[in-house]
Each structure stands twice: as structure tokens, then as C-alpha cells.
Amino acid sequence: MLIAEILVFAPVDRSLFYGIPEALRLILFPGSLVNVILGKTKKIGLVIAVREVDPQTLHYTLKPIISSIYDIPITDGILIQLYFWIAKYYICDLFSVIDRAIPSVIRRNISLKLTAYLQLSMDLDESIDGKKLPKQWEAFEFLKKNPFILKSEFLKQFSRNILDALLRKNIVYETFRREERIAYTHPDLINPRKRSIQLTPEQLGIVASVGESLGQKIFRVHLLYGVTGSGKTEVYIELIRRVIGEGGSVLYLLPELALTAQIVEKIRSRLEGLSPWVWHSGLSDGERRDTWLAALNQPSMIVVGARSAVFLPLNNLRLVIVDEEHESAYKQGETPRYNGRDVAIYRAKLHNATCLLGSATPSLESIFNTKFKNYKLESLNHRIDHRQLPRVHVVDMRYEPKGINAILSRLLLRKMEERLEKKEQIILFLNRRGYATTVLCRSCDFIASCPHCSLPLTFHRTLNQLICHFCSHQEPPQMKCPRCGSPEILYSGIGIQRVEQVVQSCFKGAHIARIDSDIMGKKHEFIHILNDFRSGKIDILVGTQMIAKGLDFPNVTLVGLINADGSLNQQDFRANERTFQLLVQVAGRAGRGERLGEVVLQTHIPGNETIFLAKDTNFEEFIAKELELRERFRYPPYRHIINCTISGNSALRAELFAKRSFVGGLSELFKEDCSAIEIRGPMISPIEKIQDRYRYAVLIFTPNVSKICEKINDFRKKITVPADIALSIDVDALDFM
Ligand code: ADP
Ligand code: ZN
Ligand code: ZN
């Protein structure tokens, strides 16, 4: 008898066995999706193994599989191995992994929406009397100009009655199309000049080195460290050309949805006839399904996508590119808390594929791996055409006059004027959303804070609301201090909306746009703004970290860093690393074209070493210093950290659980094996309370996660967590707040 081992999409943390009915014998494989009964309800399951057993050996009767959802498997054996690895390494349920890895549109196998279009008839034997029926005539003229148009578009301009009349007269007819993949076919999307380029000897050297691994079909990780504007992207494209030419597939990961459009266009313009598929959270269900099915069916394809693209079932995967590999956006913020970069590396390993990590500011982890593990370091040390890295001016904000100059220093204002005169473009960067970051009372020092979180509220001018950036709590700003009644409310701390306002008041004639996550909600808004910026319709772009990375605008010659100190104050051992990366990346947006770029970096601590090294893009020295520091304290990359957060409505109960059950239990578990882990805590988390829940942190330091993760996972499954307490485990955590 044939049975199937199945992972059911339900919070059950083990596989279950079901019988395979005769009719399904030939179509079920590992990776097939099926309908099964669990308890009394119908559930979807993923087949992970099929095997023959002797019915005599079964001590119970197996329920049969009800039906198969597709007639082909929708994932493959390697991906199934990957799911198991993620659940093990990141210490979480398998269910949470497959729930993320296999999108619900694939599980449901929904039929796709058909979209209605209007098509003008070819042989018109009837015409319309424009005098008698002016509206119909107008519609007819409109259709002549738009002979194939979305029905919904037509109905925006003309009534249903008009349409019915035209349909009756057979002037137009309705036709239906399956929703096509529309991502990035928007007409006014960026279209860079088509031109072929000659790679530099440095670039060719890297293509050859990575090409060697590709040729040998061995798993190998190459880390491409190339200063901003050194031509990393062109190296990727050359390798993509090669792999696709040989019939393989390429997975190209990016940390930011916004960067996909730029890369897709660039690949299209360089590799004619090749159209990359895209994958990110902004896709519609139809696009998602099309891409997934294409991945299953096509022997060779390229996908450009965000973190979750790592789960696409590509055939012949030969090359995995992880661009901006240092980005924390690769880390998933909820269970399963995997790092897309690291999962990509492991996936490449399972396929014997080559993995190429790239960055102008590689993470310390990856640099460490080039020194102590097998990663091969490849460097691009110069910008293309020996363009210089931008010149950086450091402005000491302690000596600036108050008022406007506390936001835009005198030097920055002067440089901005110069650039606008020359019709060059400017980027201003500040990593703070909102308008004012603290709202406080002058008389009693009361600070408006979130009633649910231990955090100050940020004032958003466009919405006229105080907002908590952690739980989205909103309240209208008060005219009087709620504590002492004083009307002297001070809005201090600069947010990006304030910068935008000040720039508007200083440069009346200039075109200014703002990009931050508050405008990202609007679909396509972001791409539109970037296009307008590229085409020169916008002179000054102000934004948060969303504009810090990857973007390539040749006409930008000035970048202003409004407050370079922001991320240095974080209570995190990575504060220096993040600051260095951010400053170098933002500065790297300047001077990418023919003209030299300049950067004005505003700071209150000009003597700070990180700022000093970032100013000169002195990566080597920064790395040496920082690695030394990390080694001294045995912080990552010298050890791994598993950050466990315990939270509850009662601070006392949460702390008690953290201390007794969690830390107590863990210490007991590793009592004979003390060198495997070091436990610190519980301590109060840097953000004590979020959404009315008190939070405690327990840090587990370990030289080797793989050696202990299974043990901790078993412990996690056995330990009884009271209903009012939540435990979250974050392996290789990047966020310690
Ligand atoms: P990076 O990804 O390292 O920031 P890009 O690949 O975006 O750099 O290259 C920066 C600019 O230089 C781009 O406009 C790119 O088209 C151009 N470029 C890259 N390599 C070459 C080359 N070999 N010859 C001419 N232009 C190049
Ligand atoms: Zn007060
Ligand atoms: Zn809050």
C-alpha cells in the first residue's frame, strides 16, 4: 500500500501519514499539494515523501487523501529540505515555514479573474449621427483613438447606457483577457538608454573568477566588495547572461522592493530578449501565481525579487545573487525569523550552485567569512571611469545659528543654491519619519508618549496626528499640556516632513518631493517619484533610508545628510556598523555621472571615529577596528546571538517565567555542556513595553547554532508557556529593541 507523509497547513508541528487512493497513485510526489481531513476539518497538505508499506505492519487505519490540488508538484525536494533546515536553524515550527514559503494563492489554486476589455469592430457598417447623438458620437470618436481599452477605463468617461447602445449597434464588442503579469510594464517607467558596455579589466576578472565556480558546478560563495558606482550591477548582468545562455536559472535578491524596477529595466536593456520575472510583496495574486507556475515550467529563468523569492521553485538553479547583502531588510521580522541572505546561501549549497553576495559596505559577518571560512573575496576598488568618490564636508552643528540653520546648515544651503543654479539634482537624507520626534511641555517637561508603549509619539504634520511608530496608536495633538495645563507645547526633534517644509520655504521655485514609508502605502507612488526625479522634473528629493541604497541617478551631485548621528545612539552593538554603512551608502548616491559629487554631512559629534572613517570611505580601517572590538567582547561575528523575548501584560509574571521556566530550564539543559552556550538575562528590554505588554530579553551566545538549535527547539516545544505570556526566539537577531 502506498502512503504519503504530509505537512498539513495547520499549527501541527510534525508530519502526518495518509493513504494514497488508487486514482492518485501516479500523480503524487514530494511537493504535491493535497486535500486531507485533519480531525473533522478539511485542510491543505504538502506531500513530503511517498512510500510503499506493508499494510500488515500498520497498527491503525490511515485516512485517505481526498484529492490532489494540482496534477504536478508545486515545490521540489530541495525546497522541502530547505523548509526543514529553516525550522531547525531558526528554532520555529515547520508550519510557520511552509506557511511563509508557499503563498496562499498557490495553495488555494484560485482561478484567475478575467478582465473585460472593449474592442472596436473591424468592419463598421454603421456610423453615428453626431448631431442627433452627440454623446454616442463622442464615445465612438474616443474608441477610434483607443480601439482596445479596459472596459473600466471606458466607463470612467462614458455612461453604461452609451456603452449598451454601442454594443447593440455592434460598434464595439466585449472581450475578456486573463489578468496578465503587469509588473513594471507601466508605460512611463524608467527606460535607461540602451547601450552595450565594455566591462573593465577589474570587472572581467571577477566575472572570470565567479565563472570558474559556475563552470565547475560547485557550491561556492563569492563576496563582491565594490565601492558605490564601481559597476557591481554590470558584473551581475554579465554572469546572468552566461547562466541563462547555458540554460540555467538565476535568483537575484534585493532588499528593497523599490530597487526591483531599476534592476529589471537595466537587465532588459542590456540583455535584449530577456525579460526577468519579479517577485515581491506588491504583486497581485495573479502575478504571483503566474510567476510561480512559470518557475515550475520553464527550464531556465531569471527572477528578481525580495527576500521571499528565495522560495520559488526554479529549475536548474545555478546562480544566486544577493545584492546589498548587508541590509537588515533581508531579515524577516516575525516567525520564521529567517535571514533571506543566509537562506539563499544555504539554498545555493543544496543546489551546488554559485552564490554571489555584493555590497559597497559588506556586513562584518560576510567579511569574517572571507577571512575564516571559504568565502572568496572579490573587490572593485574604483568607480567606473575613475570617477572620484564624492568629497565629504563635515559640518559641526554645534556652531550653527539656531532656527533654519539647525536643520540646513549654512554650508548646505549655499551648496544647494549652487546646484540648483546649475540645474543639478540634490538628495537630502534623514532617517526619521514624521515632523517632530518629541512633543514636550516647556513648563513641566511632560513628553507626549504612547499609552501602550514606552515610547514618545511622533508628530505627523500631513495627518495632524501624534503617532506611535511601534503600534500605530494615533491621537490628535493637544493645545495644552495634559499634566500642567500650560499652553507652551514645544515640537522638537527633526523629522523628514519638517525638512521638506524648510526646504520648501527656502527654495520657493524648486520642485521638491519626499519619499518615506508614509507615502509607500500608495501603490506606484514611489516609482512615479523616482521616475520624475530621473527625468529631471524634481530638483530636490528628501527621504528616509528608503532612498539610501542602490539608486543610480547620474545627475545627483549633492547629497545632504541632515543628521549623521541618529543611528549611533541606538543601544545596539551594531550601531557603529549601521552608521558606517548608512553614511557610505547615502554618500554613494552623489557624483555617479560625469560630474564630481559632494556630500555635506551634518553632525554634533564630528570627532566620532565612525563618522571620521565613513567620511573617507575607509572601509578597511573601519573593519579592522570593529572586528577587534567584536572579538574582544565575543560579539557576532565571533559568536552567534539568539535573542529571546518574553512578554506579558503582567510585568511580574513575564519576568518570573523568563527567570524560572525559561532561563532555569535552559541552564539545566546545558548544565553538562556549558561551553556550548552563555545565557545573559533576563533583563528588561530596551523598549520596556509595546502594546501594553511588558518585555524581557534573554540573550543566548553560542559559537555554533547548528550544534544547539535542535536541543533548544525540543525545549521550546516541551515548555509550557502560560496563555498570557508570549515567547519569541530570534536566531542571529539584528534587532535587539
Ligand atoms: P554599483 O552597482 O557598483 O553601484 P553600477 O553597476 O550601477 O554600480 O555602475 C555605476 C554606473 O557605471 C552605472 O551607470 C553603470 O551603467 C556604469 N558602468 C558600470 N560598468 C561600466 C563599464 N564597464 N563601462 C561603462 N559604464 C559602466
Ligand atoms: Zn506641562
Ligand atoms: Zn505604541
Each residue's pLDDT tens digit, 526-577: 778 888 998 999 999 999 877 777 678 889 999 999 998 877 777 789 989 9
Pocket test for ligand 1, best of 234, 388, 592 (most atoms within 8 A of CB): 234
Q: Which residues contact 64 (CB under 8 A, 6 or more apart)?
A: 18, 19, 20, 21
Find the 243 Cα to ligand 2 centroid distance in Å.
Answer: 66
CB 205 within 8 A of CB 341: no
Cα distances (angstroms) measured from residue 726 to each of 223, 700, 721, 723? 38, 18, 7, 8
Phi and psi at 431, nearest 5°, equal -90, 45
pLDDT at 653 over 50: yes
Output the DSSP codes for 433-483: -SSEEEEEETTT--B-B-SSSSSB-EEETTTTEEE-TTT--EEPPPSS-TT
The pLDDT of residue 188 is 40
Query: pLDDT class for 260, splitting at 50, 70, 90?
Result: confident
How confident is the prediction for the chain on average, in pLDDT? 89
How remote is the CA of residue 454 from the centroid of ligand 3, in Å?
7
> What confidence score (pLDDT) does residue 186 get?
42
Q: What is the pLDDT of residue 184?
A: 47
pTM, two decimal places: 0.85
Going edge to edge, which strands form the sheet with 114-120? Answer: 148-150, 114-120, 172-178
Q: Give me the CATH topology for the region 387-432+494-630.
A: Rossmann fold (3.40.50)
pLDDT attached to residue 111 = 59
Q: Are residues 712 and 666 in contact, defined by beta-carbon separation less than 8 angstroms? A: yes
Our mutation pick for probing the ligand 1 site, out of 233, 262, 389, 589, counting the most ligand atoms within 8 A of Cβ, is 233
Fold annotation for 640-731? Alpha-Beta Plaits (3.30.70)
- Give 517's pLDDT tier (boundaries 50, 70, 90): confident
47 CA from centroid of ligand 3 (Å)? 42
Q: Which atom of ligand 1 is nearest to the CA of 266?
A: 16
Residue 692 CA to ligand 3 center (angstroms) comes to 8
- 2-108, which class in CATH? alpha beta
Q: What is the DSSP string of 188-254?
A: TS--PPP---PPPHHHHHHHHHHHHHHHHT--EEEEEEE-TTSSHHHHHHHHHHHHHHTT-EEEEE-
Which cell is 110 given? 484560485
Closest ligand to C-alpha of residue 487 is 2
* Residue 521: predicted pLDDT: 61
Residue nearest to ligand 1 atom 17, measured at CA: 231
How confident is the model at residue 194, as a pLDDT? Answer: 52
The CATH superfamily holding the domain 201-384 is: P-loop containing nucleotide triphosphate hydrolases (3.40.50.300)
Instruction: Assess contact for 562 and 343: CB atoms under 8 A.
Output: no
